[in-house]
Amino acid sequence: MSESTTKRVTSADVARLAGVSRATVSYVLNDTPRQTISAGTRTRVLDAAARLGYSPSAAARTLRTGRSDVVLCLLPDWPIGPEVGSMLGRLSSALTRHGLTLVVHPGNREERPMTELWKAITPAAVIAYTEFSEADITAMRSAGVAIVEAVSRRKGRSLAVPQELVGRRQAEHLTQAGHTRLGFAYPDDERVRFFAEPRLAGVRAACAGLRLPTPVGLTVPLDPAAAAEAVRRWRATGVTAVCAYNDEVALAVLAGVRGEGLTVPDDLAVIGVDDIPPARLADPPLTTVTTDQTVVGAHLAATVVAAISGRAAPDLPAADIVRVVRRVSA
Amino acid sequence: MSESTTKRVTSADVARLAGVSRATVSYVLNDTPRQTISAGTRTRVLDAAARLGYSPSAAARTLRTGRSDVVLCLLPDWPIGPEVGSMLGRLSSALTRHGLTLVVHPGNREERPMTELWKAITPAAVIAYTEFSEADITAMRSAGVAIVEAVSRRKGRSLAVPQELVGRRQAEHLTQAGHTRLGFAYPDDERVRFFAEPRLAGVRAACAGLRLPTPVGLTVPLDPAAAAEAVRRWRATGVTAVCAYNDEVALAVLAGVRGEGLTVPDDLAVIGVDDIPPARLADPPLTTVTTDQTVVGAHLAATVVAAISGRAAPDLPAADIVRVVRRVSA
DNA sequence: TCCTCATGGTTACACGTGTAAGTTGGGATT
DNA sequence: AATCCCAACTTACACGTGTAACCATGAGGA
């Protein structure tokens, strides 16, 4: 409607309309414990707030309490797939239900130090998909910011999803199909080591447990020719099945096998991770390992809430949510 | 949780250490115009700030100025691909360079009204990938929040990327290869209508311009059997080439053609959009239309900055950044 | 009658910042 | 010599909220 200066509606406005003091408004709206408010004024306040469309200023609240209700999720600079995307959606819903607001910051290399960001926002918690320096961690902790490390080398901190388990499931599926000499298709991207290493470790562990030879790891670029080269080397070493870091790498392997004039799964079996939409559209349809992002998102939310209130984090029922989608490629 | 209450470093601390008033600190750190500060005290203040590791409280600053340096990007609830992801990264970098902080909020259906969110955060600008109600828009505008609608039906507001152009490019590529009867593969997802409609419109416009028959639109689910059905219907109507909504749908068409025992591009040519990694790994490698996300991100950043300072938005050199990646499928 | 105590509020302060409005002291101008 | 001005600061207030500390009232017990 009219010109610029429509002032923000504050709790003072609500108080005036309800005919009470500002403090009373605050007590009512926050359900402050140990404060007794009569039912009459309570509804009067609630009414006034609704009528005015009042919503408190996050800035003022944060300033006063020293802590905001924002949960900051720091993404790494590697490309995020639809998996992460949908998980973030779930996470956001779950956190909303706890009165928290999820906010995601995409990583970018030329970033000013992270310090700036969290010092500026003062979030209630930080979900880190990237590694912090020890200095940052202690600083944040002493500033009262809860930290949830979604990926971390440090022992004891729980990963959101145990990536070892993913690799293990891949290997199990292949060995149960009779394969004894496995390969691992490593991604051609330094930035995803965090994820790739533990998956490879899982495959190794599974092989070791069955007294099978160590899997043969090769880097597979997302390029048919380069992938074909990798396929040749695997076949030369007697590998009959490969676990790929993810579905994209798996598709590259598929392309490589085609390029060699061979067929999947007869000449080489392939299994991926993620179940991205193209997986079921591939030739042949890609067998892959998927994790239930709904559960992961909910669990991550629970972990965040626990971390904020200082309680212990719940366990993730990891074994139940990582499962093989059986198609044709393996 | 921890008892080591390391208090926050405030500008008062810096002032004390530098031996000046708090106001002086503020003037120095913000380079306030029309304020004269001697070189001596300036460096003293800067020194002190650096030594203490001071970074201002966004909450307090926002409270005081009524405007934060946060740019809020509201994503829709449909799955975001790596395209959007990388674009957001670029956007974040670009905005950082302007002293703004990008923050992304993943959409989720069961969301409380958006109103809550932006009223709470009071961002400098909102980038909307979703449609607002008129009420919301006027409310935000009067609250001084700049609005950038990345997708919008409203005329005159510039889209981040003109999706019509994308469709047009697809059609041009196919017609230049001699095809005269085109199909359009529509996604099986209500939520992406915003993007799909204009692309289809672009294809239509290109055909109309060449006096070719109207393209035959069919919904293609990401499922080989369903896609095969669509392929059958296209062939029955004499279609020899299809523009797919995006690469995933294109891959589905590829699978459908395979399922019919036919070959691409001889029996049916296919062109996608996005150039996702699986595109070049498909069989046959997928021809597709891609847009330079670096440029888009930078332009979106410029648009945001312009909107905040009330200036007119620059034009996007759209024609230069949408180009065909020519592979085998078309 | 006086004290206690719960109920239902209000007053007052702090959080950390930006900035308008003073306040100096010392040259340059008249 | 009085005046004015300007550089270089400082003082003081406002932003909107949460919450500790205070205050009034009336009921109940000694």
Quote the tokens at residue A305: 């809430």
State the Rg of chain A over Cα.
26
Confidence of residue B278 (pLDDT cuts 50, 70, 90): very high
**How far apart (Å, rounded) are the C-alpha atoms in residues A110 and A55?**
36
The residues that bridge with B322 in the sheet, in sequence order, are B291
Asked if A40 CB < 7 A from strand C, the reply is yes
Name the nucleotide nearest A24; use CA and C1': C9
> Residue A99 CA to nucleotide C13 C1', Å?
28
Asked if A22 CB < 7 A from strand D, the reply is yes
Asked if A176 CB < 7 A from strand C, the reply is no
pLDDT tens by residue, A125-158: 888 877 777 777 777 776 778 888 776 555 444 4
Asked if B62 CB < 7 A from strand C, the reply is no
pLDDT tens by residue, A189-248: 888 877 889 999 999 999 999 999 999 999 999 999 999 999 999 999 999 999 999 999
Distance from CA of A210 to the nearest CA of B (A): 33
Residue B243, H or E segment: strand B241-244
| Nearby residues of B168 by Cβ (< 8 Å), 6 or more positions away | B202, B203, B205, B206
Average pLDDT over residues B98-114: 74
Residue B205 has what pLDDT? 96
Q: Which of B77, B143, B251 sits opposite A278 (nearest CB)?
A: B251
pLDDT tens by residue, B24-48: 999 999 888 888 888 889 999 999 9
Backbone phi and psi for residue A44, each to the nearest 5 degrees, phi listed first: -60, -45
By the 8 A CB rule, do A54 and B114 touch? no
Distance from CA of B266 to the nearest CA of A (A): 18
Confidence of residue B322 (pLDDT cuts 50, 70, 90): very high
**How far apart (Å, rounded) are the C-alpha atoms in residues B326 and B174?**
11
Q: Which nucleotides of C are covered by protein (CB under 7 A)?
A: 7-12, 14-21
> Residue A159 CA to nucleotide D13 C1', Å?
49
Distance from CA of B304 to the nearest CA of A (A): 17
> Residue B84 CA to nucleotide C16 C1', Å?
37
* Structural domains of chain A, ranges and CATH numbers in brackets: 11-56 (1.10.260.40), 65-160+295-321 (3.40.50.2300), 163-292 (3.40.50.2300)
